[in-house]
Structure 1
């Protein structure tokens, strides 16, 4: 009877090695996903944190990758060592069943010890299949025995997770799978090396950024502050998060802080590791609650509040802000443009005179004005400047004749309280009305102001620093009444405002003036006054615990004023040729010009005009002290005609100041001295003025006084003398009565035509600005005209006026 040789069926169980291999592949895939997640996470957060945080993050992430690679390497080595030995068959049996080797043997071996055949099993698979080979004796038997053997195998019931199959795989299959594992291991090694190289490059770039940004490299503080950051990032990476939540996490400490204490408008805060000096921050993510960073320490910063500090509490959040371009870090800015003209704004750019403006003006300011300018800007350099050569007329004859000012000059107005400093500055603004006459009307017709802009226009800014509300309102009403608000912008902070707002006010006004300067226009700004500005900065410095110096002012008060006033300049033609002229105002105490702030500003500016309280009390207004006032650079920009006229007036005025005390002596005075005194008294009356004078009137007054045409006119009537001279109707009567003999008849016809068609002041203003006085007196025959007019006034008007004054005195007696 032939025997049928057949290999017994074996169950195919998932071996430990297979489970380990699968686990290893899962681990490698999870490691790879974590590496990718960490790479993505690093890219997402690298823009949100500072470079120092990125460097420490790279180190921690790289260590994590190295540790994962070592675990992977050890696991693969362990698997390779396992495959060198034969596997124990008991490892492939289920743990919950009590099967023995006898269940898998023929029935004739059932009652025998299965351990005797344990050594006869030969492994023929890859760790997942095996065979049982028996000797020839065990394979011989009858057909009945074989049938019983088949029945035995059919009756065995095993769990469904185990499969039964005949072994048909080749013996070299294990070697192929081993080679595949080696390839997978090599690929993972290459990926690990590539990722390690990428992180090394990122570490180098962050190091370069650290050097470029000049960050502090205090390793102890950085490690303490960044340890929490790296731990949280690695936790998110291990958890498999692709996007990490930023708000409220320690990752935000570079752009986020907490309020530690609040005292006297100064906030002490932690965090904000990348904040800069002079940067704006907001509280509780509300853009209307702002603060200005003015002190940087190792662990804390000090912030001066720009709004009410009662709205915040200890523990509130502080956030850095983004600028208009989307970059982190917002510094104080202000809206600039032609639309700011006619507006009264505060430091934040909010319009305060909305009731006086039309809807068109408000919409154009809030929605059409998109250009902003930084409040703190570096002054122009020497290369971009130009010498002062173009005159700036203030309308005050004593200043334009004796202390001329040029475009781009910084002239200091200094004096005691209530001596006319603000009035003098407002007079200079009103004097630009003739130059800006095209800008007076278009605002009322809802037309765009830019359609009327010309390069020769002079735009004015009034910066009221710590003034009373009534003073600011009075200035606004004067400018509005004279139609000067059409070319003027008022920036104010009252005395009730915070010291930080008073500190920012002159910088805001200067930024607006610089816009017009860069557009090629001549701009004029008044700082009223820098004494209040210095007091506000001193208050901030003392609250910030900065060491006080002379008069308790901080050591950098000179830099504060110099950096502000140096921004006034005359730009060269390549940069537009614009200019910014400034009138800083300083208030003295009892005429003391030797105190700290006055001496500082005097040394910074290009001249000063000193207003004397004694002259003011005598009724001499403007109360300019000729001996203490000076203009250092304006003479080079002075008009030729007024320079030749004022040269003789200066000599006459200086002689009078030497003899001014002798008028009170009752003794007889030498006729020559009496003549000098009478000329000086006449000049004193001439220089008294309440309103700005046109340029041609200054020339006529100066020339007539210097040439001696008014020597017979009493000082009491000199004002009336010039009022009649500049009366348009009266002057036309004189021209027709005198029948002036012009050398050329054509000039007579032209002058008569222009005098009838155009206003008289425009005609002469044009002549005196273009032609020197030496040519004009011959062409227009000033000598003949003034001599005839002086004789008529002395012979006809002055006697009548004397009688009128005597009667008036008699009535009072």
Structure 2
């Protein structure tokens, strides 16, 4: 051992003692009075604030959810198996925060930002509270830029804009998650960053969504946040707020983000569970009185910011579940009143093979055609009315009788519209493809094809445009319009495709 080792050790020890801060230190300490079902009752923490992080003596973490004069109602964020009555609890002075930043892109995390994909720890750019105020009116701008979903029935009839909040609602197993995931997949060709938040979903459903995103989307620009049914209720409760904070990081830097909440019906059920366990007064359907407020303050954070704030946008697609198509139920009604429109999925259409099973009569986008490309808005002008008339005529013709010529023509055209709006999953269409389909429908180019031929036309159209109408593709991508000569060339190319398919069918 070197001769000077003892002196070095002693010098270092003296430095530590000299720099140590001596004196009294105050800690906020309480005791667990009772624990069960993921909720702890705590006494002694008089200065705790709402949503403050609480740390238990065995390492578990929770947050203060109910501030009664005598007892604090704390919701656990970790398993409560090692927490017992009499354990010490310490206030942290901080509210619940999550990591944000570029390091989350391409990762699968839990609501606290901890990795679930087996990768390295998250390199956070910062930590921000999960509860943040929504942008004020002056800080917002008009919603005028489109979010291309790649789904023909949505982009043509219920156009979405950057900064919009559009509800996806329907019965279970009607394709709600598929519609949302396909919208995320379509952003692989855009500058929009995607966040998928799974709240209480089955592991198999989440795995399918992640597989679809890894296979078809640009996963390096996606964040997947998962709160499984086996997680503590507190983790499921904070999941949508944590996801919104992660998305706001990009919006506030002038970028564009799209977030999917799958789904808020389960989040409302978790909120009801926590409220009943903490003895809050139940209201309609046993939900507490603030169930509207928790979703309103969440979805109000989605916005298109003004140029003074950087011009970024955050678009939200919340998902809600109905029972037997009952849109007047409590939670769907609340969400419909909060959002800027809804896409309603119908179980009858789904079982008939019409996928996406969008009910065009009940669905609406309150932004409307303001965000659509001019060409698509023009081409799809009367599509919704034509399709609605076809559905009504189809019902009457089921009673028998041979329709006369004009009605027969409407029925034939309506069948082609229905086939065009039917679309395989995970195959988003480009704006040019959708515009070309609408032009073909309006010009009657597919009237000579059988319904199954329309599907073949739609499948072959992208390749045909790439090889024979590249000029039209460029013009639509750059300006959203077509001049007369380019439109004529596009129509001629589609006429050749329709003739070749009709000849092949003969």
Q: Do they superpose with TM above 0.5?
A: yes
- Tell me which residue corresponds to 1:239: none
With over 3 angstroms needed to count, the CA separation of the structure-2 counterparts of 1:651 and 1:394, relative to structure 1, is: same
Shift of 1:244: 5.4
With over 3 angstroms needed to count, the CA separation of the structure-2 counterparts of 1:291 and 1:422, relative to structure 1, is: same
C-alpha contact (below 8 Å) 2:76/2:233 kept by paired residues: no
> Matched residues in 2 for 1:793 and 1:318: separation?
73
- Tell me which residue corresponds to 1:291: 62
- Tell me which residue corresponds to 2:341: 607
- Tell me which residue corresponds to 1:386: 141
The residue correspondences of 1:237-252 to structure 2 (distance < 5 A) are 245-246=24-25, 252=27
The residue correspondences of 1:749-788 to structure 2 (distance < 5 A) are 760=470, 764-771=472-479, 773-775=481-483, 777-778=485-486, 781-788=489-496
With over 3 angstroms needed to count, the CA separation of the structure-2 counterparts of 1:433 and 1:765, relative to structure 1, is: farther
- Tell me which residue corresponds to 1:344: 108
C-alpha contact (below 8 Å) 1:408/1:580 kept by paired residues: yes
- Tell me which residue corresponds to 1:620: 354
With over 3 angstroms needed to count, the CA separation of the structure-2 counterparts of 1:776 and 1:522, relative to structure 1, is: farther
Q: TM-score, normalised by structure 1?
A: 0.58
Of 510-519 and 710-719, deviating more is: 710-719
What secondary structure is seen at the aligned counterpart in 1 of 2:377?
A: helix
C-alpha contact (below 8 Å) 2:198/2:225 kept by paired residues: yes
Q: Is 1:712 paired with 2:440?
A: no
Q: Is 1:434 paired with 2:168?
A: no
- Tell me which residue corresponds to 1:304: 75
Give the alignment partner of residue 498 of structure 2, picking from 790, 800, 803.
Answer: 790
Q: TM-score, normalised by structure 2?
A: 0.91
What secondary structure is seen at the aligned counterpart in 2 of 1:401?
A: helix
The residue correspondences of 1:643-682 to structure 2 (distance < 5 A) are 643-682=377-416
With over 3 angstroms needed to count, the CA separation of the structure-2 counterparts of 1:678 and 1:500, relative to structure 1, is: same
- Tell me which residue corresponds to 1:724: 460
What secondary structure is seen at the aligned counterpart in 2 of 1:330?
A: strand
With over 3 angstroms needed to count, the CA separation of the structure-2 counterparts of 1:776 and 1:460, relative to structure 1, is: farther
What secondary structure is seen at the aligned counterpart in 2 of 1:269?
A: strand
- Tell me which residue corresponds to 1:695: 431
With over 3 angstroms needed to count, the CA separation of the structure-2 counterparts of 1:338 and 1:244, relative to structure 1, is: closer
Task: Tell me the matched-pair count.
Answer: 484
- Tell me which residue corresponds to 2:3: none
Compare the two structures and name the one with the higher strand fraction: 2
With over 3 angstroms needed to count, the CA separation of the structure-2 counterparts of 1:521 and 1:731, relative to structure 1, is: closer
Give the alignment partner of residue 314 of structure 1, picking from 68, 85, 106.
Answer: 85
> Matched residues in 1 for 2:286 and 2:245: separation?
29
CA offsets 1:454-500 (integer angstroms, 9 cap, x no match): xxx21000000001111111111111122532111000111111211
Give the alignment partner of residue 281 of structure 1, picking from 38, 45, 54.
Answer: 54
What secondary structure is seen at the aligned counterpart in 2 of 1:477?
A: helix
- Tell me which residue corresponds to 2:39: 266
Shift of 1:684: 0.6
C-alpha contact (below 8 Å) 1:524/1:582 kept by paired residues: yes
- Tell me which residue corresponds to 2:252: 518
> Matched residues in 1 for 2:71 and 2:489: separation?
77
Of 417-426 and 661-670, deviating more is: 661-670
What secondary structure is seen at the aligned counterpart in 2 of 1:381?
A: coil
Compare the two structures and name the one with the higher helix fraction: 1
Higher RCO structure, 1 or 2 (CA under 8 Å, sep 6+) = 2
Shift of 1:716: 2.1
RMSD: 1.9
With over 3 angstroms needed to count, the CA separation of the structure-2 counterparts of 1:265 and 1:785, relative to structure 1, is: closer
Give every structure 1 segment of 4 or more consecutive aligned residues whose post-TM-superposition deviation is greater than 4 Å. Answer: 242-246, 776-780
Gaps of 5+ in 1: 1-241, 322-328, 436-456, 736-750, 752-759, 800-813
C-alpha contact (below 8 Å) 2:171/2:322 kept by paired residues: yes
- Tell me which residue corresponds to 1:469: 203
> Matched residues in 2 for 1:777 and 1:528: separation?
45
Shift of 1:781: 2.4
Shift of 1:314: 2.1
With over 3 angstroms needed to count, the CA separation of the structure-2 counterparts of 1:297 and 1:797, relative to structure 1, is: same
CA offsets 1:329-353 (integer angstroms, 9 cap, x no match): 1111111111101100001211111
> Matched residues in 1 for 2:466 and 2:223: separation?
38
Give the alignment partner of residue 227 of structure 2, picking from 474, 493, 505.
Answer: 493
Gaps of 5+ in 2: 1-20
The residue correspondences of 1:190-209 to structure 2 (distance < 5 A) are none
The residue correspondences of 1:402-421 to structure 2 (distance < 5 A) are 402-421=157-176
CA offsets 1:217-271 (integer angstroms, 9 cap, x no match): xxxxxxxxxxxxxxxxxxxxxxxxx96554xxxx64xx21122222333222222
C-alpha contact (below 8 Å) 1:462/1:526 kept by paired residues: yes
What secondary structure is seen at the aligned counterpart in 1 of 2:483?
A: helix
C-alpha contact (below 8 Å) 2:38/2:234 kept by paired residues: no
> Matched residues in 2 for 1:382 and 1:731: separation?
43
Shift of 1:764: 4.3
C-alpha contact (below 8 Å) 1:335/1:349 kept by paired residues: yes
Q: Is 1:629 paired with 2:340?
A: no
> Matched residues in 1 for 2:176 and 2:484: separation?
35
With over 3 angstroms needed to count, the CA separation of the structure-2 counterparts of 1:725 and 1:465, relative to structure 1, is: closer
- Tell me which residue corresponds to 2:4: none
Q: Is 1:334 paired with 2:93?
A: no
> Matched residues in 1 for 2:360 and 2:125: separation?
46
With over 3 angstroms needed to count, the CA separation of the structure-2 counterparts of 1:310 and 1:696, relative to structure 1, is: same
Give the alignment partner of residue 30 of structure 2, picking from 257, 269, 287.
Answer: 257
